[in-house]
Amino acid sequence: MEKLTPQSLYSLEEYARARSAFRAEVMAHKKNRRLPLGDHAALYFEDRLTMQYQVQEMLRIERIFEPEGIAGELDAYNPLIPDGTNWKATFMLEYADPEERRQALEKLIGIERAVWVQVEGFDRVHPVANEDLERETEEKTASVHFLRFELSPEMAAAVKNGATVRAGIDHPAYRAECDVPTGVRASLAQDLH
C-alpha cells in the first residue's frame, strides 16, 4: 500500500474546508476496520486512509505546517500502513472503569503476543508486536499495542479469493475467538497484493 507523502496531504487551510466530509468518509470506512475480541479488546486495522486521518488531525491540532514537522508526523504514522503482505492493527484493551482497567492490565502481561489471525486452511499467525517501543513492564501491560500480522503469499491469495478468516486471543487471563465479519474481511483483503 502506498505510503503518505507531503503531496498526499491537505494543507491546514484545505483541511479546514474538507475536514467534515473527510471525517465522515473515514468514520464510515473505519466501521469495517474494527474487530471486537471479547468484551474488552479490539483490533483496529490501519490502512492508508486511517493513517492520513491521524496525520491530518495531528497537523491540525499541533498547527504543524513546516516541512520538518510534517515529515516527522509522516515518519511516525507511515509504518502503520500495511505493506501488501501484512495487516497492521492498533490493539486496544478497553475498560471504562479505571480501577478495573488497572487490575486487568496487571493480569494481561504478554496479551499482545497471544492475539492471532487465521486464514481458512492455514495455521494461526501471531503478530510482531510493538516494533516502535516496549509497551509493558514487569508489573503491567499497556492498554494500546501496535501489531503486524505477516501473511504468506498463499494466505494473501486465499483471503483475496474469499477464504474465511478467524481471529482471537489465547492468553491465560483472556480468551476470545470469532469469525471476521464479511465486511471487515473484504476491507482487509484490499490491504493485500
pLDDT tens, residue by residue, 134-163: 788 889 999 999 999 999 999 999 999 999
Question: Could you give the CA distance from residue 160 to residue 187 in angstroms, rounded to a whole number?
Answer: 10
What's the pLDDT tens digit per position in 28-53?
999 999 999 999 999 999 999 999 99
C-alpha cell at 108: 494481561
pLDDT of residue 157: 98
Whole-prediction pTM value?
0.93
- Domains, the chain, in order of start with CATH, read 1-31+48-81 (no CATH), 33-46+84-193 (2.60.40)
Average pLDDT over residues 66-77: 96
H helical segments located in the chain: 12-30, 48-62, 67-77, 98-107, 111-114, 153-160, 182-189
Q: Which band of pLDDT confidence, cut at 50, 70 and 90, is reported for residue 131?
A: confident
pLDDT of residue 134: 75
